[in-house]
Amino acid sequence: MENQTTVVATQVVTEHREAYGTAKTENLRDSGLWRLLLPLVVIGGSAAMIAIPLIFLVPLLVKSFSPNYAANVQGQPLTWLWIVMILLVLIIDFVIIRGLVKIFFTQAGNYR
């Protein structure tokens, strides 16, 4: 007679399982404060992204129109440089702000 092991004869090994955090123990209520703060942070950051470079570049552009400006006295006007830099900053800001608006404002509406 062969030594055969049947299903009934094998001992079932049980795993030790423990649940960490269930819906019963977590506070799933949403205060809704992030729906107000997130757009304010995005709008404030976007305004700062536009304003900070322009605070420096616009006075340089205005000064470059003066005949007493140092670069104009030397015969090398820099007006074109300030105009190009302002346009470049505005284009880069537009691309970044458009991306931020698409990311944050479209997702915020999905959680109603």
SS3 readout for the chain: CCCCCCCCCCCCCCCCCCCCCCCCCCCCCCCCHHHHHHHHHHHHHHHHHHHHHHHHHHHHHHHHCCCCCHHHHCCCCCHHHHHHHHHHHHHHHHHHHHHHHHHHHHHHHHHC
Res 95 pLDDT > 90: yes
Who contacts 83 (Cβ-Cβ below 8 Å, separation ≥6)? Answer: 61
**Per-residue confidence (pLDDT) for residue 46, from 0 to 100:** 96
pLDDT higher than 60, residue 59: yes
Nearest to 63 by CA among 43, 46, 89, 81: 81
Please, what is the average pLDDT of the chain? 82
Task: Indicate the pTM of the whole model.
Answer: 0.65
Rounded average pLDDT over 70-82: 92
Show me where the domains of the chain are located. Answer: 33-111
pLDDT for the residue numbered 96 = 97
pLDDT above 70 for 111: no
